[in-house]
Structure 1
Amino acid sequence: MANNIYDYGMNWLFKVEIGDIKMSFSKVSGLDIELEFEPYNEGGVNDYVLEFPKNKKSGHLVLERGTGEVTKLIKWFQDIQIGKFVRKNGTIELWNETGETIRTWQIENALPVKWSGPSLDAVGKEIAVEKIELKHQGLKEK
């Protein structure tokens, strides 16, 4: 049972590592898993339909960061485009305010599938942000 603020992870305190890639990100999204169910009509039961778990479906992990020099992450994506398919495992750690790890998600067999460059605006004064999306074969609590 959580008693104080140190028992909770803070959404701004996290670390991402994918293979040999250790970078800072301003935002991570796509930490979701959905179960698909198969309906089963049981003979003689007309009040409801039984449902059994069938498949697990995961969304893409989306990593966002300020645009800077070409990094190992971008290089990995460029290698995929020329046929060098290398899947990587990784972790995302969520920390509390004292820096303790509260939760860890393990990413299995990730592969970059989309890169989005920054939106450029001569009037704006925000940091240029790029996104990379990773397809993976599993997201588990560690």
Structure 2
Amino acid sequence: MPASASFGRDKLKGTTKTQGDFNLSVHFDEEGAVLRTSMVMPQHYKLEIDGVEVAGVHSVEGLESESDFVEYKDGEDGVIHTRPGNHKPGKMVITKDWSNTSEWYKWRKAVLDGKVERRSISVIFQNDDGKEAGRINLYDCWPVLWAGPELNAKSSGHAQEKIEISWETLELKAGK
């Protein structure tokens, strides 16, 4: 039976020159031979919407999958049991450099005009060599909120916009 082992920064401290937070996953076959290792760092990713890479993305937050749970009693044992209920659609927030083309606002405006354009979004994790180390695919996505740039005369960074996306299905795929 294939197996896996994961090591966090505490186990790998002093064994690598890589800085920052990371996780190392090692995957084995039935004989114990290494199938692949994946090191994914939180700053090595790219974002695609309908297969087109989005430039200037600073952060992606809220990649979660959640279900309600239903409580019930079974007989006289006095124990409250649970079972899965409805699966909740997810929400994520993407922050990127603002541009005057405002494609994200146009997508949001379509929703306001009653023309929901559902799209697919992929968050693609990359290893140190820039190769795909895994991905999260999100389906039936549409913008529930768009926030324009915060303006501050004392700021020295780029103006950024945020978009909150709702999705119906999340799929996690291991790297190659």
2:157 match: secondary structure:
coil
Matched pairs, number:
141
Shift of 1:20: 5.5
Question: For the residues of structure 2 that align with 1:59 and 1:122, how far apart are their CA atoms?
Answer: 35
1:14 partner letter: Y
2:45 partner letter: F
Q: Given the alignment of the two structures, is residue 43 of structure 1 paired with residue 75 of structure 2, yes or no?
A: yes
What are the within-5 Å matches in structure 2 for residues 57-136 of structure 1? Answer: 57-136=88-167
Question: For the residues of structure 2 that align with 1:117 and 1:40, how far apart are their CA atoms?
Answer: 46
Asked if 1 retains the 8 angstrom alpha-carbon contact of 2:104 and 2:146, the reply is no
1:54 match: secondary structure:
strand
2:149 match: secondary structure:
coil
Question: For the residues of structure 2 that align with 1:73 and 1:117, how far apart are their CA atoms?
Answer: 10
Shift of 1:105: 0.8
Question: For the residues of structure 1 that align with 2:77 and 2:42, how far apart are their CA atoms?
Answer: 46
**TM-score relative to the length of structure 1:** 0.88
Aligned to 1:8: 39
Asked if 2 retains the 8 angstrom alpha-carbon contact of 1:2 and 1:8, the reply is no
Question: For the residues of structure 1 that align with 2:63 and 2:99, how far apart are their CA atoms?
Answer: 25
Give unpaired runs (5+ residues) of structure 2. 8-15, 17-23, 25-36
Question: For the residues of structure 2 that align with 1:85 and 1:40, how far apart are their CA atoms?
Answer: 38
Question: For the residues of structure 2 that align with 1:110 and 1:116, how far apart are their CA atoms?
Answer: 17
* More relative contact order, 1 or 2 (CA 8 Å, 6+ apart): 1
Aligned to 2:60: 28
**TM-score relative to the length of structure 2:** 0.72
Shift of 1:97: 1.1
Question: For the residues of structure 2 that align with 1:108 and 1:85, how far apart are their CA atoms?
Answer: 14
Shift of 1:58: 3.7
Richer in strand (by share): 2
Give unpaired runs (5+ residues) of structure 1. none
Q: Computing the radius of gyration over CA atoms, which structure comes out larger, 1 or 2?
A: 2
Instruction: Name segments (4+ residues, structure 1) moved above 6 Å.
Output: none
